[in-house]
Amino acid sequence: MGGGSVVPFPGVFPSAVPGQVGFTREELTRILDLYGRMVAAGEWRDYAMDFTRDYAAFAAFRRAAERPQARVEKRPALRGKQGMWTLFGEHGQVLKRGHELPGVLAPMERRLVKAVED
């Protein structure tokens, strides 16, 4: 190996998978903004992200050992149908589907308002 060579470690970095679905900077900023406000309200404490060829997902947890309280999924293949965004609840139920991320996050935004008011 020469001194100037950088060799990617296979299978670890999202950019190593061609055609992988990801979040744009604006989408991730919107999701992380909500996550930060939910952390400040004491609702969430941890998160995980998953990136595959079919979807990108962001899951938020109250505790790391539990199932996620909410999961936002982006599936570009559904763009022309019910929308590429889906919000899932704690038990895997679909809470909201749509074409625009802000509308799909709306139920969590409302939950945040209730958490802050309590």
Domain boundary assignment for the chain: 19-117
Phi and psi angles of residue 33, each rounded to the nearest 5 degrees, phi first: -65, -45
pTM: 0.79
Task: Decide which of 39 and 7 is more confident.
Answer: 39
CA–CA dist 116, 39 (Å, integer) = 11
How do residues 61-97 score in pLDDT, each as one tens digit?
Answer: 988 777 899 999 999 999 989 899 999 999 999 999 9
- Type of residue numbered 37: R
CA–CA dist 79, 75 (Å, integer) = 7
In a 3-state reduction of DSSP, which class is residue 61?
strand
